[in-house]
């Protein structure tokens, strides 16, 4: 059975700083699972297609940066230890997604978004606030966010050139994982957010996708 480790406030601060750096510094996230893309052949994409797919993968990478920050913020303020542990475990799984997306962006000759520190800070704050309100709100936020990510992934999967099997393999595995994260959060007692809240989240995610596709 898992026992909770006790960290001092200073330990927690250092762990947070470490997590932030591992999310934001290039090539710093070590995946726990190998990328699903490694067994797929590389496609010969023309310049326009490669730029478009790199833009989509950049959006997904920033989404994973936000997920990391959200989970880290919540883990900081969650009240129940089992909720905190569940958040930390989910954050570990998102590191795979983060690393796989970054690797694919580089293969396509591009780089992650320059806006990532900004989105990290915003998401960390939102996560920490949600955790302060209550664990149920916090878990509800995870569920709603993951459902939003699933919607993006479906749109991106529909837009990928058929020959780009590497990007497809990554997004399909992410789609499966995010669906599971959403279900786990609801099963753990997450609130189902009303439509206006979900609409607000959709607007925010539009800002993120429009800006990081290019920047």
Q: Which is nearer to Fe ion, 50 or 70 (CB)?
A: 70
In the bound state with Fe ion, the residue whose beta carbon lies nearer, of 50 and 142, is 142
- Output helix, strand, coil percentages for the chain, rounded to the nearest 5: 75, 0, 25
The residue from 127, 130, 178, 186 that contacts Fe ion (CB under 5 A) is 178
C-beta neighbour count of 46 within 10 angstroms: 9
CA distance 153 to 159: 10
Q: Of 50 and 68, which has the nearer Cβ to Fe ion? A: 68
H helix count then E strand count, the chain: 7, 0
**Smallest gap, in angstroms, from Cβ of residue 203 to Fe ion?**
20
Tokens of 166: 């590497």
Least CB distance from residue 75 to Fe ion, whole Å? 14
Whole-Å CA distances, 114 to 4, 61, 143, 151, 162: 36, 11, 27, 24, 28
How many residues at the interface with Fe ion, by CB under 5 A?
Answer: 7
In angstroms, the CA 150 to CA 32 distance is 21
Residue 50 or 191: the one with the smaller Cβ distance to Fe ion is: 191
Residue with tokens 């762990």: 15
Nearer to Fe ion, 45 or 65 (CB): 65
Record the tokens describing residue 1, joined without a space: 């059975």
Q: Which of 52, 58, 61, 97 binds Fe ion (CB under 5 A)?
A: 97
| Interface with Fe ion in residues 111-150 (CB under 5 A) | 146
Q: Report the nearest approach of Fe ion to the CB of residue 182 (Å).
A: 8
> Closest Cα to residue 143, out of 201, 94, 182?
182
Looking at the Cβ atoms of 102 and 146, the one nearer to Fe ion is 146
Applying CB under 5 A, among 181, 186, 190, 212 the residue interacting with Fe ion is: 181
For residues 130 and 185, the answer to whether their CB atoms sit within 8 Å is no
Residue with tokens 């569940």: 86
Window of 34-42, 120-128, 181-189, 199-207 that interacts with Fe ion by CB under 5 A: 181-189
Q: Examine residue 96 and tell whether it contacts Fe ion (CB under 5 A).
A: no
Give, as ranges, the residues between 51 and 70 that touch Fe ion (CB under 5 A).
64, 67
Which stretches of the chain bind Fe ion, using CB under 5 A? 64, 67, 94, 97, 146, 178, 181
């Amino acid at each position: 059975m898992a026992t909770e480790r006790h960290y001092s406030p200073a330990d927690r601060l250092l762990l947070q700083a470490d997590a932030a750096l591992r999310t934001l510094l290039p090539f710093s996230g070590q995946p726990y699972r190998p990328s699903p893309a490694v067994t797929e052949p590389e496609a010969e994409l023309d310049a326009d297609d490669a730029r478009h797919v790199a833009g989509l993968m950049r959006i997904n990478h920033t989404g994973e940066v936000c997920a990391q920050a959200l989970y880290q913020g919540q883990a900081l303020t969650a009240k129940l230890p089992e909720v905190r542990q569940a958040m930390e475990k989910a954050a570990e799984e998102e590191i795979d997604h983060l690393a796989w997306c970054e690797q694919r962006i580089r293969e396509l000759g591009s780089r992650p978004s320059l806006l990532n520190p900004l989105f990290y800070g915003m998401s960390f704050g939102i996560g920490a606030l949600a955790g302060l309100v209550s664990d149920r709100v916090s878990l509800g936020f995870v569920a709603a966010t993951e459902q939003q990510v699933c919607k993006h992934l479906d749109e991106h999967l529909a837009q990928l050139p058929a020959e780009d099997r590497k990007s497809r393999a990554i997004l399909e595995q992410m789609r499966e994982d995010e669906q599971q994260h959403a279900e786990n959060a609801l099963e753990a007692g997450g609130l189902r957010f009303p439509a206006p809240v979900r609409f607000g989240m959709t607007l925010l995610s539009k800002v993120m996708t429009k800006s990081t596709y290019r920047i």
